[in-house]
Amino acid sequence: MEKGTSSPKTRSISYAKWGYIFILPFFIVYAIFTLYPQLLTVYNSFFEYYRDGLTVVGPNFVGLANYKALFTANSAGYVPIFKFLGNTIWLWVIGALPQFTIAMLLALFFTSTRLNIKGQQFFKTVIYMPNLIMASAFAMLFFALFSQVGPVNQLLVSSGITQQPINFLGMRIYVQSLIGLMNFLMWFGNTTILLMAGIQGIDESLFESARLDGSTSTQVFFNITMPLLMPIFIYVFITSMIGGIQMFDVPQVLTNGHGIPDNTSTTLIMYLNNFLGISKNYGMAGAVSMLLFVITAVLSTFVFKTINKK
Amino acid sequence: MAEVILKNIKKVYPNSEPKEKKGLFGKKKKDDEEKPHHTHHLQITDEGVVAVQEFSLNIKDKEFIVLVGPSGCGKSTTLRMVAGLEEISGGELYIDGVLMNSVEPKDRDIAMVFQSYALYPHMTVYDNMAYSLKIKNVPKAEIDKKVREAAEILDITQYLNRKPKALSGGQRQRVAIGRAIVRNPKVLLMDEPLSNLDAKLRNQMRAEIIKLRQRINTTFIYVTHDQTEAMTLGDRIVVMKDGFIMQIGTPQEVFDHPANLFVAGFIGTPQMNFFDAKLAIHNGDYYVETEDVSVKLSDSKQKRLKEKGVKEQPVTLGVRPEHMEIAETGIPGKIDVTELMGSSSHLHMTIKGKDAIVIVPRSDSQENHMGEEIHLSFDGSNAHVFSLEDQHNLEY
Amino acid sequence: MKKDANQSAKIKLFISRLVVYAILIFLSFLCLFFFYLMIINSSRSNAQLKTGFTIIPGGNFLKNLYNAWHDGDINIPVGMKNSFIIAMCSAILTTYFSAMTAYGTYVYDFKYKKFVHLFILAIMMIPSQVSAVGFIQLAFKYNLTNKLWMLIIPSIAAPAVYFYMRQYLEATLPLEMVEAARIDGSNEFKIFNQIVLPIMKPAIAVQMIFSFVGSWNNYFMPSLLLNKADKKTVPIMIATLRSADYSKFDMGKVYMLMLMAILPVMVIYIILSKSIIKGVTSGSVKG
């Protein structure tokens, strides 16, 4: 006890030190396993540092050369980072568009007192389930189903719809659609539940009075539900975007890390992953990470703004 | 044996210290009631908001002290300083002659009953009561004996195996008290223990606390905003306002001889009536005069005023509702509403443009109707005169 | 006239209900169909699988299970063991220490309390990939690859779990409870372990589940850190299936491996779906 160690006159009972003690483990681990590596990432981005076969090149300070390289066109005539950022956004969009449309509809169905949907718990349980599935296993399953000798092609050929099996994993439109479909399946249940909670948070009497005022359900939706749901909608939308920027498992496994065909399904993180693979190009990987950080920081600012507005 | 001595105790909340405990969910904590940001009359110095100051009180062993006052007066803060839950900013606190300022709560040998009961929801009633003893490594058999004894006193033996959730408010209150008394604390602190109960249960529990007090020999410090609780429970009452002590005294003293206008108005229900009046001296005797009446003050009051050499001056005259009576002549007033209260009636009146209440026997009220003009008088022994300047009772 | 209006409203409602249920059933079908297919296919032999779709299980379930379990290349039992160790330890550490941190900033008044809280909220949004580069570099530099604890210890600092715990504390723990325990003679650690943790049980359970599932499914970081066969986790093994020459593979075994990969999470979900779904909302949207 501190009674013995300090004079009772000046030293008084204060619990402040316990606050520091309780948060200490978090910050020690954070500093060692997250903050220090993060700073190292930034540091690396200014160095030439990679492995070439068995020799390690660097680290040599190169200033902004890695960033310059990042934004320089390659031999195929495009700037990889722009293409992959574009891929990532596009792959997110084709999943998110149906995801948010369907989720909004379902949330409205579930919360409608007029429709009074039965079996909500069952439906929610089922549509949320894909969210918990191991993404790599899910992608592998789709690969198995849609491969050239897979059951889908067998069905198409045997039923005479096509003469030859379709090379689903060799054509951009199919690969991208499959990724979109998987992302949609994995996330629409989650979004539905979040939006539902948002709608349920709105004062019920507002809907009732609007209805008594003679509003149609469409008018109620646009005049009451949507404006009041906006903060939560934006929150869910942007967190989905942040998740989308980090898209990796599904395209990586589905395309075996190659973003086939022709890197049209290579995402930002897949690009980062390539630098961290055998080449251990910490310099370029650092530069890609910084770009990723900047994008999420901008998006996160929006999230915090919407939260604070509430 | 446990005397508690508070010497010039002071509590300052530094301005920078975030005292707000508002959740992100917007849920406010109950204990905010006593926190300074709710009131605007507390003194603010360079150090911060002064919640309590110049608090000196000697509490005798086994005395029952009640701290009473409106919300934000510093009564709970004072209690929490005695408990060791708040740091003492200035002054000294002794329990049994030992300076306690820097001693942790667990080493002060005190127990406390909280307004929200603060029972541990995951433990049974038995475990709730046994917890403090278990921590002190008291032998199991002794714990069992003590818990059962306390449960017996509070009549909660049949609930010992239940969780707090399965109990009613009154039962939870008993458990909270039980948890406090199993340890035979030197000082038992109670922070608004009855204010979460409904009116009927509150009366019942008040009686229980009086009984409890006779069974366990310990010093009580009890905080309440309810003056009825203060009057019925306390050996002595400490009336507080804006961080200052307004008066310390037995319930009778505080009621009969309020030290100032605030205490006069706060203690007693319905509230004391106040009128503008003049303190006059005729032939060496003190009179209190309004436009309509002149009443000679009682001998004891004459003596006290003379000793202090009080001069003629305009005053605030205070007379309790039960001390006013209907008379042929006197202060005129109009009856607004008559409330029949059983054995007596409350007449809500307008007297000289001010609201006042008069309590009259029931027989009288039957003759008095709403809208009627009547005259009121009072006895010189029941008139209180307060200085206009600083509102103190001129007798003291 | 009035009766007609009532009648037509009734019909309208009936039709809209029909449409809504049809949509719901279609989406549920979509969600279940692929997993049903996986289960069915995991019970069929390679030859049967070559014949295309069926909704009837084949008779090869146990054989596929045996083959998958004893596969020479993909040591799924070891993978499941590794995944389980990482997921379980992470779940325990992340919930315990997040609760502890949340308790620290909620109950105690200290100078940088507000700053600490805002700091943790701010770092919540930084993607884990940003620290990956430095993390991998350090792991290779200090020879810490193929160490499971490298994937476990970092879970102690989990901002999102902290945020959830903090909100839960604000909603459920009155400060008076802590003060009552102090007066009862408890010290600060005992108060946290004996009083606060039991009160936080529901929040801890929910976060343990989410954390377990998250670690179990995690692919990015483990795939960079673990390259020894006896240290690999399930997602890494599943991903290697993809790079194998599938035409030579016994597809029945492949489906079985996938089923084994998702089964633990599915079992947890089927048992605890109700509280998991509740946890989805309370964690991420501010009420």
Same domain, B136 and B229: yes
Taking the C-alpha atoms of residue B146 and residue B361, their distance in angstroms, rounded to an integer, is 51
Q: Are strands B236-241 and B64-68 parallel, antiparallel or unpaired?
A: parallel
pLDDT at B27 over 50: no
The region, left, alpha or beta by phi > 0 then psi within -120 to 50, assigned to residue B91 is left
| Chain B residues closer than 8 Å to C109 by CB | 17-19
Tokens of B372: 């009627």
Look at B155 and C281; give whichever has higher pLDDT: B155
| φ, ψ dihedrals at C202, nearest 5° | -60, -40
Residue B50: inside a domain: yes
What is the identity of the amino acid at A206? L
Same domain, B162 and B67: yes
Taking the C-alpha atoms of residue B270 and residue B228, their distance in angstroms, rounded to an integer, is 11
Look at C77 and A207; give whichever has higher pLDDT: C77
| Chain C residues closer than 8 Å to B132 by CB | 183-186
pLDDT at B284 over 90: no
* Test mutation, B98, B101, B102, chain A, max A CBs within 10 A: B102
| Chain B residues closer than 8 Å to C195 by CB | 120
Mean of the pLDDT values across residues B2-22?
Answer: 70
* 3-class SS of residue A19: helix
* Test mutation, A18, A22, A253, chain C, max C CBs within 10 A: A22
Inspect the interface and report whether the beta carbons of B85 and C183 lie closer than 8 Å.
yes
CB contacts < 8 A (A, C): 294
pLDDT at A306 over 80: no
Q: What pLDDT shows up at residue C51?
A: 75
Residues in chain A: 310
What CATH number should be reported for the domain holding residue B38?
A: 3.40.50.300
Domain stops at, among B223, B256, B289: B256
* 3-class SS of residue B257: coil
C117 close to B (CB below 8 A): no
Which range of residues forms the domain containing residue C135? 72-243
Model confidence pLDDT, tens digit, residues C145-181: 899 999 999 999 999 899 889 988 988 888 999 999 9
The least confident of B24-28, B101-105, B267-271, C146-150 is B24-28
Same domain, B230 and B300: no
CA dist list (Å): B9 to B35, B55, B189: 17, 5, 17
Taking the C-alpha atoms of residue A150 and residue C242, their distance in angstroms, rounded to an integer, is 13
Residue B395: inside a domain: no
Inspect the interface and report whether the beta carbons of B24 and C195 lie closer than 8 Å.
no
Same domain, C16 and C140: no
Residue B261: inside a domain: no
Same domain, C142 and C218: yes
pLDDT at B21 over 60: no
| φ, ψ dihedrals at C167, nearest 5° | -65, -40
Same domain, C53 and C85: no
Inspect the interface and report whether the beta carbons of B106 and C184 lie closer than 8 Å.
yes
Taking the C-alpha atoms of residue A152 and residue A138, their distance in angstroms, rounded to an integer, is 16
Q: What pLDDT shows up at residue A189?
A: 92
**CATH number 1.20.1270.360 given to A74-309:** no
| Chain C residues closer than 8 Å to A47 by CB | none
Domain stops at, among C59, C83, C100: C59
Same domain, C127 and C35: no
How do the residues of chain A divide into helix, strand and coil, expressed in percent and rounded to 5? 70, 5, 25
Chain C residue closest in CA terms to A304: C122
Taking the C-alpha atoms of residue C166 and residue C154, their distance in angstroms, rounded to an integer, is 19
What is the identity of the amino acid at C226? L
Cα-Cα-Cα-Cα torsion B367, B370, B375, B381, nearest 10 degrees, comes to 90
Residue keyed to tokens 């700053």: C115
Single out the residue of C226, C77, C76, C262 nearest to residue A135, CA to CA.
Answer: C262
Same domain, C155 and C120: yes
Inspect the interface and report whether the beta carbons of A124 and C277 lie closer than 8 Å.
yes
pLDDT at B123 over 70: yes
| Chain B residues closer than 8 Å to A16 by CB | none
What CATH number should be reported for the domain holding residue C227?
A: 1.10.3720.10
Domain-by-domain residue ranges, chain A?
2-66, 74-309
Which range of residues forms the domain containing residue B375? 270-387
A234: buried, middle or exposed (CB in 10 Å: 19+, 13-18, 0-12)? Answer: middle
Model confidence pLDDT, tens digit, residues C223-274: 999 988 899 999 999 988 888 766 667 888 888 999 999 999 999 998 988 8
**Percent residues over pLDDT 70 in chain B:** 92
Task: Quickly list DSSP for chain C.
Answer: -HHHHHHHHHHHHHHHHHHHHHHHHHHHHHHHHHHHHHHHHTTS-HHHHTT---SS--S-HHHHHHHHHT-SS--HHHHHHHHHHHHHHHHHHHHHHHHHHHHHHHH---TTHHHHHHHHHHHHTS-HHHHHHHHHHHHHHTT-TT-THHHHGGGGS-HHHHHHHHHHHHHH--HHHHHHHHHTT--HHHIIIIIIHHHTHHHHHHHHHHHHHHHHH--HHHHHH--SGGG--HHHHHHHHHHS-GGGS-HHHHHHHHHHHHHHHHHHHHHHHHHHHHHHHHHHS--
pLDDT band at C212 (very low <50, low <70, confident <90, very high): very high
Q: What pLDDT shows up at residue B25?
A: 36
Q: What pLDDT shows up at residue C246?
A: 63
| Mean pLDDT, all residues of chain A | 86
Q: How many CB atoms lie within 10 A of CB C133?
A: 32
Q: How far is C84 from chain A (nearest CA, A)?
A: 14
Q: What pLDDT shows up at residue C2?
A: 58
| φ, ψ dihedrals at A306, nearest 5° | -70, -35
Residue C275: inside a domain: no
pLDDT at C91 over 50: yes
Q: How many CB atoms lie within 10 A of CB A55?
A: 7
Same domain, C41 and C167: no
Same domain, C117 and C16: no
Residue C249: inside a domain: no
Residue C276: inside a domain: no
> Which letter does DSSP use for residue B32 in this model?
G
Same domain, C90 and C216: yes
Find residue B276's DSSP bridge partners. B316
Model confidence pLDDT, tens digit, residues A218-265: 888 888 888 888 888 888 888 899 889 999 999 999 988 887 888 888
Residue in C170, C181, C199 nearest the CB of B23: C170
Domain stops at, among B214, B232, B256: B256
Residue C169: inside a domain: yes
Same domain, B164 and B227: yes
Same domain, C46 and C185: no
Residue C255: inside a domain: no
What CATH number should be reported for the domain holding residue B285?
A: 2.40.50.100
Tell me, rounded to whole angstroms, the distance of Cα C112 from its chain centroid. 33
